[in-house]
């Protein structure tokens, strides 16, 4: 089956970038937590740069200089030793899930840079489950998932379905943006809930996310989540 543009471009771009970053992962060792964050951040920036070109209508070019920089930067990357097989499996999962989600985000009119939401929330892990009950790569709560057409019951939980969950998450993000008018507030609502953000806005008398941060009217998790998404988003431009 032939993959249609821009899906075909996304496959080529992401496959090339992930292949070029493999040596950095395979060769490094020690300091697992910091290392994973560093490799992940560089990969995300390189991929998002190329996704932005696709979104803007530019030719899809897996530019070697951009991708190679993620693995041959002047600083040394440290990462845990893992088997090549496990690295390849992780790369394949990230590629497949990210490409599917990217196509859905394009169709739903959501910025491709916001794919990092799933990476931050779960590492694109379909089986991720939070203590509060959020589940799947997009960490959707049951009520939110059902609101956007997913089945969640004792027999079936479609929050773990990569494509259906991505569609629900994209529509939810789009709705939040339409409701709150900017992405910082929309992301805050995605993480903390619309009611929590609406209440914070009413109490503060402002729709400025950073003012809400200064006033500590949002949960600590949200105060970390939103800047993290925005920072990675900016890093990819």
Question: Quick check: is 121 catalytic?
Answer: yes
Q: What's the angle, vertex CA 133, arms to CA 36 and CA 115, rounded to 5?
A: 45
Looking at 121, 175, 194, 221, which residue is catalytic? Answer: 121
User: Rounded CA gap, 72 and 40, in Å?
Assistant: 14
| φ and ψ of 140, to 5 deg | -85, 140
Neighbours of 58 (CB within 10 A): 10
Minimal CA–CA distance to 172: which of 212, 139, 217, 199?
139
Within 13 Å of residue 131, how many CA atoms lie on the same side as its CB? 0
Which of helix, strand or coil describes residue 135?
Answer: strand
CA 76 to chain centre: 25
Neighbours of 6 (CB within 10 A): 18
Residues 6+ apart with CB under 8 A from 180: 186, 189, 197, 207
Task: Please list the active-site residues.
Answer: 121
């Amino acid at each position: 089956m032939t993959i249609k543009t821009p899906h075909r471009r996304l496959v080529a771009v992401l496959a090339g970038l992930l292949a070029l970053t493999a040596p950095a992962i395979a060769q490094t060792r020690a300091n697992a937590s910091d290392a994973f964050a560093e490799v992940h951040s560089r990969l995300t920036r390189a991929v998002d740069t190329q996704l932005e070109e696709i979104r803007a209508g530019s030719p899809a070019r897996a530019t070697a200089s951009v991708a190679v920089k993620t693995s041959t930067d002047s600083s040394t990357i440290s990462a845990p030793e893992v088997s090549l097989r496990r690295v390849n499996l992780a790369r394949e999962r990230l590629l497949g899930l990210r490409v599917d989600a990217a196509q859905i985000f394009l169709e739903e009119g959501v910025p491709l840079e916001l794919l990092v939401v799933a990476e931050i929330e779960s590492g694109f892990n379909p089986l991720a489950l939070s203590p509060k009950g959020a589940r799947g790569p997009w960490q959707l709560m049951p009520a939110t998932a059902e609101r956007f057409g997913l089945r969640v019951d004792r027999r079936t939980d479609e929050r773990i379905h990569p494509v259906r969950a991505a569609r629900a998450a994209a529509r939810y993000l789009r709705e939040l943006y339409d409701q709150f008018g900017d992405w910082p507030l929309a992301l805050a609502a995605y993480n903390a809930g619309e009611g929590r953000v609406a209440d914070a806005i009413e109490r503060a008398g402002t729709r400025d996310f950073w003012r809400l941060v200064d006033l500590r009217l949002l949960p600590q998790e949200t105060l970390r989540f939103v800047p993290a998404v925005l920072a990675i988003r900016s890093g990819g431009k």
